[in-house]
Structure 1
């Protein structure tokens, strides 16, 4: 009796065809020699193939041309890893004994999720649709497919590799948008940050000085409508704090970047990221909205006070609680709505998180529409107030002293100048946002 180690020979292709008859089909044109052909740089572990499973090529040269086109998917790493085995199996199926090895349906199905961009941008050709029974069959895993080894790919700038699904760029699984805005270079970022620091710093100093002047004479200043001006300064002071927070240590990166180095988009995502982005957004957006609502309230207060100049009754009595309810509750509801739609984005140029940097329509709905409405209401009451003063001046010009007429004229001039400046700044704001909206990439 002979002694020795027994070995099990690998099953031949004919054996596999006989064992799994549902996993092959007859070749109409016969098998074609592969020679030294490779697929995406990987050596094929068999010598013959067929071009009958695909409909867009019928020669070796044609197949190589189509695979070259498909190589553009390299920029989508997760898709590229999944689709290489499928493409090689379909374009170069194993062939022998005039039979073609069908593709395991699981190989096809594994590409659907990571390769959504193919479906969205181009659509799958018929021979790459998993329900095509002329190409795919169930439980037909080929040993040869396991031997194929492919090279990994990387993300094309400005995308970068990430394993965080919340950071994936639309349709490009495995890649996220880099934190630094790719449309501007580093020097442009520095210039913008200096501009923001100077402008926000000056605004912060001016509003702080205005508030301190109220505290110096709080007994006389703690009256409406003067008190409304204090609240306006308080709101813009807090908003400036939100703008200036980026200049503390490495705060800017923490505010606008995720931990994997990608840009914060669609916040809040609830993935354990730093809350600094949302905190800054709330500071800037809430107090900006509150400030412009207080401006509306101020214009309304001026109007009803000028209208009641000939009476001894204080027209603001009983209205102050309603003022506070409107000024603080409306921005609070807007903040909740912004967080609810998860459209708060970081921006490396501005150094803050704000609504609709990516999807500008949300900025239209949550910023331009409210600001436009506030501007319309404020303009209405300011013009009505000016009309009331003008009417008072004309109707009682003979009864008023020269000093009273001069005071009314000066008040009208101040309101007119204030209104003009406010409208100019709001118009510039509108123009900037409309420009960004119409030139969105």
Structure 2
């Protein structure tokens, strides 16, 4: 019983079949070259004589590169075939070891039911002869076929290549990892749900000139953000006592995004050297995306970037908490400062636990657009739970506390008579809070929107990419693709822009005449010392 795969490309596609069935493609890469063209050859295997077909192809579906190797591999099954333990054993074995060679690009796979029947009928005899059923012949690896067909050798006959019976109708075989993207096992690589596989470098969606433009765009924005946040932090160091609670979280917020922008700037300098595995004929056939924690530089970039991204969002929530405590229960600066230890434990502890969890789950991925390493670049589930969920929770909590604080301050301004000078200070403080919050929330909500859009259309983009590249990679093309779409580079540029712009509002909080006087005094003091 066989299922026909009707695919319009050359015999190199067979190598993908081999990879699916045997899982040992990487071991024999060098010897595949001689079989790169699809050619039929007469069957010389003794067991497979007198079948309804007499031509086969090599390498076969179990990665044997000539019929002599296939004959040696079939020897343990000779006693079972001679004793005729099952009428399905011989056609099943021959369908694997000497598959029928049909018209250009068509390959017959044995049906799962044929495998089950052969294994079930011959199990006792195999136990008697000490023969184990090979892992690469596990029945779950083969496609289901129409059970109404009889179980006999004549099922291997393909009389009419245009026949549209259930045995020859195309179906979606899912994504098969091309040998160019195949990775070493046990490294934790996954691509489109397939283990030991990695996305290609450069980026699978964009051309090199687009990636070059994106790289320089991210580099320029990261320099601007780094300059703004570094200025904020240095202003704090000049006069530490100036920024007390409830304003102090802004400084730690600035430090977090200073580190984020520094990582993106390093990604700009490093280009693909960290986010991608370089092509190496002895190990990798082409450049692929780095995944997992085996690359120390990638792991370090991921830890710094993810930790400080999450910490920055938590510090913004803490900032709204301190404002709320100052506005509603009327806590003073000293009372809020007593909770500083709790604030620090939350702001550094929560991101730390999330980072450790991702390291334990081995979910690090190279981002070959920005040159950094992050999480959820290709894994939608990880993106959803470790990036989107924390950011959305921070926005929800922060906005609720912020609105409550602003309402409380406005009530104070309206109900309690204050001196004109105090009224002006309170109004100015509320305006600064509002402007700072808008400058933070608009970019952050834009980032969340980009992630949600990306998560929604990721599967469509991936299917489109497979459809466009399947013939190049010699893998099965998607069947009946209903929707195709490619991502727009603008979406990613907006995402990176907003990720970095989020850190810039901190400079507006310290931007005042007092800051200018402090910097002037600082430089004047240094000159006097010299």
Range of TM-score over shorter length: 0.5 to 0.7
Q: Partners in 2 of 1:162 and 1:322 — Cα distance?
A: 47
- Aligned position for 2:435: 417
Larger radius of gyration: 1
TM-score, normalised to structure 1's length?
0.66
The CA deviation string for residues 32-57 of structure 1, in whole angstroms up to 9 with x for no partner, is: xxxxxxx9533433698333xxxxxx
C-alpha displacement of 1:80: 5.7
Pair 1:131-2:152 in alignment: no
Deviation at 1:189, TM superposition (A): 1.1
- Structure 1 contact 102–136 (Cα < 8 Å) conserved: no
What's 2:161 paired with? none
Shift of 1:394: 0.9
The corresponding residue for 1:144 is: none
- In the alignment, what sits opposite 1:6? none
How far apart, CA to CA, are the structure 1 residues paired with 2:440 and 2:314? 13
Q: Give the corresponding residue for 1:332.
A: 352
Alpha-carbon deviation of 1:416? Answer: 2.0
| In 2: Cα distance, 1:384 partner to 1:214 partner | 28
Which residue of the partner structure matches residue 54 of structure 1?
Answer: none
Question: Is residue 213 of structure 1 aligned with residue 213 of structure 2?
Answer: no
Q: CA deviation at 1:422?
A: 2.2
Deviation at 1:400, TM superposition (A): 1.4
Matched, 1:81 2:60: no
1:104-183 alignment, distance < 5 Å = 124-129=111-116, 131=119, 133=121, 160=180, 162=182, 164-165=184-185, 166=187, 167=189, 176-183=198-205
Distance in 2, matches of 1:176 and 1:78, equals 25
The secondary structure found in structure 2 opposite 1:160 is helix
Structure 1: runs of 5+ lacking an equivalent: 1-38, 52-58, 112-121, 142-154
Deviation at 1:126, TM superposition (A): 3.2
Offset of residue 331 of structure 1: 0.5
For 1:41, the equivalent position in structure 2 comes to 40
Tell me how far 1:359 sits from its aligned partner. Answer: 1.8
> TM (normalized to structure 2)?
0.56
Aligned mates of 2:419, 2:395 — CA distance in 1: 35
Q: How does 1:15-414 map to 2 (within 5 A)?
A: 41-45=40-44, 49-51=49-51, 59-60=52-53, 81-82=63-64, 103=90, 124-129=111-116, 131=119, 133=121, 160=180, 162=182, 164-165=184-185, 166=187, 167=189, 176-221=198-243, 223-248=244-269, 250=270, 252-257=272-277, 260=284, 261-264=286-289, 266-268=291-293, 273-307=294-328, 309=330, 314-396=334-416, 399-414=417-432
1:82 positional shift: 4.8
Contact map agreement 1:108 1:128 (CA 8 A) in 2: no
Query: 2: CA distance between counterparts of 1:168 and 1:364?
Result: 17
- 1:265 and 1:343 in contact (8 A); partners too: no
Cα pair distance change 1:140/1:401, threshold 3 Å? closer
* Pair 192,171 (structure 1): closer, same or farther in 2 beyond 3 Å: closer
Q: RMSD of the TM alignment (CA)? A: 4.3
Q: Secondary structure at the match of 2:229?
A: helix
Contact map agreement 1:281 1:352 (CA 8 A) in 2:
yes
Q: How has the CA–CA distance of structure 1 residues 380 and 251 changed in structure 2, closer, same or farther, with 3 Å as cutoff?
A: same
Aligned-pair CA distance for 1:252 = 3.0
8 Å CA contact 2:317, 2:394 repeated in 1: yes
Distance apart, 1:177 and its partner CA: 3.5
Q: Report the Cα distance in structure 2 between the residues aligned to 1:189 and 1:340, rounded to whole angstroms.
A: 31
Q: What secondary structure does 2:374 align onto?
A: strand
Q: Deviations over 1:310-353 (max 9, x none)?
A: x7673314201101110111111000111122222112112222
Q: CA deviation at 1:175?
A: 6.2
**Residue 185 of structure 1: how far off its partner (Å):** 1.2
Which structure is richer in relative contact order (CA contacts within 8 A, separation 6 or more)?
A: 2
Check the 8 A contact 1:360/1:437 in 2, yes or no.
Answer: yes
Aligned 8 A contact 1:177 1:263 in 2: yes
Deviations 1:370-400 (A, max 9, x none): 111111111111111111111111111xx31
Which residue of 2 is the match for residue 437 of structure 1? Answer: 455
How far apart are residue 235 of structure 1 and its match?
0.6
Residue in 2 aligned with 1:23?
none
- 1:203 Cα deviation from its structure 2 partner: 0.6
Q: 1:338 to 1:49 in 2, by over 3 A?
A: same
Task: Name the count of aligned residue pairs.
Answer: 347
Q: Distance in 2 between matches of 1:101 and 1:125?
A: 11
Q: Structure 2: where are the runs of 5+ without partners? A: 1-37, 72-76, 79-83, 99-108, 132-174, 460-530
Contact map agreement 1:159 1:177 (CA 8 A) in 2: no
Query: Take 2:437 and 2:429, find their aligned partners in 1: how far apart are those partners?
Result: 12
Find the residue that maps to 1:304 and give its secondary structure: helix
Is contact 2:218–2:370 with CA below 8 Å preserved after alignment?
A: yes
